[in-house]
């Protein structure tokens, strides 16, 4: 009997990756805002990415998420990797 092997798809995100997520959250003044917030990938599977935050985050219905973890589909446009700034080389030291 022949079995089909599932296609291997590399995950775009890995556990401990730093990402930005577009969501409702508390800002520095404890005001609720909607915008990009930095977080850390806590779990990845074939369909979903879990991101954990240091501040309170909210569901679209307005409920606060007690564990500060939001789940997103792998293909969501509301999650993106953080682009690291390139180190600038000081021309005076060359």
Encode pLDDT of 16-67 as tens digits: 999 999 999 999 998 999 999 999 999 999 899 999 999 999 998 889 999 9
Dist. CA 61–CA 94, nearest whole Å:
56
Beta bridge partners of 36: 22
> HSE of 16 in the Cβ direction (CA atoms, 13 Å)?
0
At residue 74, what are phi and psi to the nearest 5 degrees? -55, -30
Task: Please state the pTM of the whole predicted model.
Answer: 0.76
């Amino acid at each position: 009997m022949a079995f089909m092997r599932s296609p291997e798809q590399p995950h775009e995100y890995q556990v401990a990756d730093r990402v930005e997520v577009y969501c409702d959250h508390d800002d520095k003044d404890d005001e609720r805002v909607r915008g990009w917030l930095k977080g850390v990938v806590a779990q990845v599977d074939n369909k979903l990415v879990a991101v954990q935050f240091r501040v309170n985050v909210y569901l679209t219905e307005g409920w606060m998420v007690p564990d500060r973890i939001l789940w997103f589909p792998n293909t969501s446009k509301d999650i993106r990797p953080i682009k690291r700034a390139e180190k600038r080389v000081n021309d005076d030291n060359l």
